[in-house]
Amino acid sequence: MSGRLYQSVRPRHNSASVVEPLRFLIVSDSRDECAALARMLAARWPQAAIEHWAPIERGGLPGDRLAGWSAILLDAGPGREAPLAWLSRLRQTADPPPVLLLTAPGSEIGAEQASRAGVADLLHWAGLEPRQLARAVGDALAEREARRAEQTGADPPWLRTTRWEPARIGAPLDDAAREVPGYRLLRKIGEGGMGQVYLAERVHDGLQLVLKLLGPALRGDPVFLQRFVREYKLIAAIADEHVARIYDQGFAGVQPYLAMEFLAGGTLAARIHEGMTSLAALRLAGGIARALDAIHRHGIVHRDLKPQNIMFRAGGARPVIVDFGLARELHGDSTLTRHGPLLATPRYMSPEQCLGEPVDARSDLYSLGVIFYEMLTGQKLFGDASPADLMLAHVRGEVPRLPPRLAGYQPVLDRLLARDPERRFQSARELFATIAI
């Protein structure tokens, strides 16, 4: 069944799918820089057409009729026209291509200016790596596709047919793999204290998904068992692109299982490790805020938000929240929270979680602040402190100062990481309205 083509379980619109050939335009007066960019792009998209536009030779930046380009890479260096003014005009055209702006040391263009002008991402020539460029361009292409789908009413990417290659995922099954009626286990993709995670195939329709199996040591714990079962009930009804889809929950004999969407785009933790620009970090923070708004509107607090629990669909630029095992209903009287402070990850816990106090949606926003700091700087908040010291730092520590190049983000970070929930953003929607770009 390797590489099987499967359909979404939701109704789909009948619309023809046309794959457009990729066309990239590099706008720069430096032929050496253009050649370097072209090599990077060709390594990732060997079939793409790549052209060069030299503003000085051609009397200025390209005109406004640029709908045929998949993406434009614009050097912010010398030219006959200010790049941000040109970008602002480009945004007024129908279906403008995404523009990635490249700056050199000493450039006066910052992330906030670039975001207001509609830049898809802000990259720096110094130290630019092929992987970083490919990620930025790929995310820009995916975001444009999602925006087009929203405007036309066609199925968005998160509901579309997708092809997987199971043999390239995880590890072969071991002798301890359990049979689950109705599913065929394909590969083992994770294991931890809570249990095992498998890539599996639903027998009746070939849908490839993830099966989470609760570990033997926890099946006898009624709190864990109830939490595992409740995870399905909490989020199965949420139909939102920012929340992983849950297909089924049940028992195979005494083995509890949860069947959920497989997210092939990896985790935010991996993207942070690869490195990202400050503008990409801001966009992702806005996407995570949208995701949190989706669950908070359904009366759910996640309580364990961390980079490992934020994932992406294949080719997707928009974050998806997973793992609601510690989630709590805002207006419920559930008693399934007594293990919460011990199970949540200390590095991303809010001060009220560390103190064992009641939490609300603003606790998730604090966790997002910790993640935002990590995305911006590539460093862990409060360094390599022990779990106990991390919890103490959340309760008593000071919000760290960002380096000068990131100082414009300090006010947002200060509000997210305020110890007093009343001083934070009061909702994910308020945060998104503040940083939306």
| Residues labelled catalytic | 304
Q: For residues 87 and 114, what is the distance between their CA atoms, to the nearest angstrom?
A: 9
CA-based R_g, the chain, Å: 23
Burial of 350 (0-12, 13-18, 19+ CB in 10 A): buried
Listed residue (240, 238, 219) closest to 228, CA to CA: 219
3-state secondary structure of 20: coil
Question: For residue 253, what are the CA distances in angstroms to 160, 219, 300?
Answer: 33, 12, 30
Question: What is the Cα–Cα distance from 244 to 158, expressed in whole angstroms?
Answer: 10
CA distances for 240 relative to 159, 236, 245, 293, 307, angstroms: 11, 10, 8, 10, 19
DSSP notation for 154-214: PPPGGGS-EE--GGGSSB---TTPPP-TTEEEEEEEEEETTEEEEEEEETTT--EEEEEEE
- DSSP state letters, 240-309: -TTB--EEEEEEETTEEEEEE---TT-BHHHHHHH---HHHHHHHHHHHHHHHHHHHTTTEE-S---GGG
How far CA 90 is from CA of 52, 62, 95, 144, in Å, comes to 18, 10, 9, 15
341 phi and psi angles, rounded to 5 deg: -60, -30
CA nearest to 291, candidates 275, 304, 278, 302: 302
Q: Are 283 and 275 in contact (CB under 8 A)?
A: no
